[in-house]
Amino acid sequence: MKIDIFPHIMPRRYFDRMLQVAPPGMALQKRMSGIPVLVDVEQRLRIMDRYEGYMQVLTLANPPIEVVGSPDVSPELARLANDGMAEVVAKHPDRFPGFVASLPMNNPEAAVREIDRAIDDLHATGVQIYTNVAGRPLDLPEYQPVFDRMAQRDLPIWMHPARPAAFADYPGETRSKYDMWWAFGWPYETSVAMGRLVFSGIFDRLPGLRIITHHLGAMIPFCAGRVGGGLEQLGSRSDDPEDMGALKRLRKRPIDYFRMFYGDTALFGAWHAMESGLAFFGADHVLFGTDMPFDPEKGPGFIRDTIEAMTRMRATDEDKAKIYEGNARRMLRLRFR
C-alpha cells in the first residue's frame, strides 16, 4: 500500500468562499482554475487508479487560510475546508483513509477550538499549519496553545512552507523574481521555522510532539554539518544576549532536536535528495508524500515521479515499507475498512 500523506485538495464550497473573501492581487482564480483536479474528486480518483495500492490522506492546498481571510473570517473558512475534506473521506473511505484539518492560525483561540471539533467530530488525523502566520513566527507565545493541544491529542502537525512573491530577495526590489521565492524561499522558510521552534525549547517542553515537514526537512539534511557543529557555536558570531543564552536553555545538542522532526518524500522525483533525508531523519521519521497535483501535468506527474524515486532510492525493503505505509499506520488514526 502507498499512503500519500501530503497531497492537496480544495473542497468546492471552501474554494468558492475563498474566492469571495480573498484580498485583491492574490491571483487565485488563475492559479487554481488551471488545476481542475484540486476540486474535481472524480478526476482525482481516475488519476489515482493508475497506481496500484495508492491512497491519499487529504490536506488543504496553499494559500494559508490566515492569508485569505481576516481573524473574523478565517474560522468559517477552516470549517468549510475541514467539513469538505471529511465529506470526501466519508464518501470514499477506501481511497481516502483520512484528512488533515486546517486551522485559522490568525485566530489562535478559534484554532484550538477547530482542533477539537475536527478531531472529535470529523475524525481528522492531525492538523496542517504553515511556517509562519501571515509573516509572524510560530514560536510566539500566542501560537503555543496549538502545539500544546496537538501534543495532548497525540496526533501530528503537518508543516507547509509559506512565502509570497512579495517577499523580495534584495533590498530596493518589490518582489522576488523568477519564482525564487518558491524554489529557494520555501525551503529556507521551512528550515528557519524548524530552527526557531528548536531554539524556543518546544521539544524540551513537549517531547512527544510530532511535526511533519513538507519536502523532507527542506535544507536541514543537506546542511546537517552547519546545523551540527555550526549551531553549536551559537552566540560566537554576535553580541546578541538572546543568541548567547540560547544553547544553555536546551537540554540537548541542536542537531538532536532537528532529528525529532519528520519529513515527507515530496521532492519531485529527486531520489538522491530522498536518500539524504532518509540518512538524516531515519526511516521511522520519513513518510510517503507527493505534493499532488502541482506537477506540470496537473495531477499524475508527482505521484509517478515519487514512486519512481522510491524505487531508485537506496534503502532496504523494510525501510521502504515503513515510508510507504508503516509510519502512517503507526502515527495516524486512519479509518480503513
Confidence of residue 212 (pLDDT cuts 50, 70, 90): very high
pTM: 0.97
Residue 278 placed within a domain: yes
Predicted confidence at residue 81, as pLDDT, reads: 98
* CB-CB contact of 65 with 114 (8 Å): no
* CB-CB contact of 95 with 49 (8 Å): no
Predicted confidence at residue 23, as pLDDT, reads: 86
Q: Measured between alpha carbons, how far apart are the two ends of the chain, in Å?
A: 14
Q: Name 111's bridge partners.
A: none
Residue 21 placed within a domain: yes
Confidence of residue 337 (pLDDT cuts 50, 70, 90): low
* pLDDT over 70, % of the chain: 97
Predicted confidence at residue 244, as pLDDT, reads: 83
Q: At residue 276, does pLDDT exceed 70?
A: yes
CA dihedral for 216, 160, 203, 167, sign (positive or negative)? positive
Q: How many residues does the chain have?
A: 337
User: Using omega within 30 degrees of 0 as the cis cutoff, is the peptide bond preceding 64 cis?
Assistant: no
Residue 337 placed within a domain: no
- Mean pLDDT, rounded, of the chain: 95
Task: Give the domain extent around 327.
Answer: 2-331
Predicted confidence at residue 333, as pLDDT, reads: 87
Tens of pLDDT, residue by residue over 100-119, are: 999 999 999 999 999 999 99
Residue 336 placed within a domain: no
For residue 271, give the nearest of 243, 220, 312 by alpha carbon. Answer: 312
Predicted confidence at residue 124, as pLDDT, reads: 98
Domain total for the chain?
1
Spatial strand order in the sheet of 211-213? 101-102, 127-130, 157-160, 211-213, 262-264, 286-287
How far is it, in rounded angstroms, from Cα 218 to Cα 173? 26
How far is it, in rounded angstroms, from Cα 325 to Cα 295? 23
Residue found by looking up cell 495531477 in the block: 299
Tens of pLDDT, residue by residue over 152-196, are: 999 999 999 999 999 999 999 999 999 999 999 999 999 999 999
Tens of pLDDT, residue by residue over 293-306, are: 999 999 999 999 99
CATH number, position 285? 3.20.20.140
Q: At residue 121, does pLDDT exceed 70?
A: yes
